[in-house]
Amino acid sequence: MSFVEYGDTIKDGDTAIVFLGHESMFPVKVQHGTVTQTKYGVIRHSTDLIGKKYGSKVTCSKGGWVFILHPTPELWTMNLPHRTQILYSTDISIITMMLELKPGSIVCESGTGSGSLSHALIRTVAPTGHLYTVEFHQQRAEKAREEFREHGVEHLVTVTNQDVCKNGFGVSNIADAVFLDIPSPWEAIGHAKSALKAEGGRICSFSPCIEQVQRTCLAMEEYGFTEINTLEILLRVYNVRTISLQIPDLGKAAEDNSSSGFDSSNPSHQGSPCANLQQGTVQFKSGVPLREVVGHTGYLTFATKS
């Protein structure tokens, strides 16, 4: 099993996603002899998972059933253990596009955090690219290495435990893109410039506060970056559902038609709207926004090395 090389069959040691519903799923490490409890009953790894195909419908001990899905960066973002605040797919998608990433790209990232963006970057640059990710916190760095190894992507990523603001990324003039998600990104702009290739490399800084953005933009200008711009992605989700609306009472219009000689039995009038109006309700599909929506996550500042 690998997050970038998809397999058909569930194997011992794989990370799989147990899907109970769109709002209920969780990751599980498949191990021979292990069981997993769900609200529908027990899943026995040896008999219910190992050897089955990904996407299989598995019946639990209480008679309920779940689907077993192959992990992807998107599913991992929704189910990973949170060690820090993470980036979600809305921001991740614009980051990968604006940094112009593709298979073979070299990317530097700081900090690694819970690895949500890291998995998406690895999948984007695979199979010939590489991610150099720097994490200040030693335990988080060690946990990230362990997860990358379990997920079969350790050959595509190098995890370094150091302070990027003081020591940089450990590479020079090779990166196609740099991503910063740290409290003081302006202190790492010089190191980011050193890591980027000679010309045309892209940089992105994620910051929740506008004051951080202001200082970062000033630092980018000081180091000669161009095309500096900041944006914010706000997601608004709509539910498609059936709603009912009352048909308006147009009785006065009907009386006017009657007094003017309107004859509903006349074939020439059968297509008239007034001929088919009846008091009551009508149902139709409509898009309705959620009452609670995700608000501000952070500002994304992009720039290009001149």
Domain at 9-71: CATH architecture: Roll (3.10)
Strand-strand pairing, 65-69 and 106-110: unpaired
Q: Is 181 annotated as a binding residue?
A: yes
Cβ-in-10-Å burial (0-12, 13-18, 19+) of 295 comes to exposed
Domain boundaries, the chain: 9-71, 75-234+296-305
- Let me know if 248 is exposed, middle or buried by CB neighbors in 10 A (0-12, 13-18, 19+): exposed
Containing 221, the helix (H) or strand (E) segment is: helix 210-222
pTM, two decimals, is 0.84
Q: What is residue 280's predicted lDDT score, i.e. its pLDDT?
A: 80
Q: What is the mean pLDDT of each run of 10 residues along the chain (306 residues)?
A: 91 95 92 94 95 95 93 95 94 97 97 96 97 97 96 96 96 97 97 95 97 98 97 89 82 57 52 52 86 84 96
**According to the model, what pLDDT value does residue 257 have?**
55
Binding residue per annotation — 163? yes
Is residue 117 annotated as involved in ligand binding? yes
Long-range pairs for 163-170: beta carbons < 8 A, 24 or more residues apart: 163/136, 164/110, 164/111, 164/134, 164/136, 164/188, 164/191, 165/191, 167/191, 168/194, 168/195, 169/108, 169/110, 169/132, 169/134, 169/195, 170/132, 170/134
Under CATH, domain 75-234+296-305 is a member of which superfamily? Vaccinia Virus protein VP39 (3.40.50.150)
Confirm whether residue 260 is marked as ligand binding: no
Q: According to the annotation, is 23 in a ligand binding site?
A: no
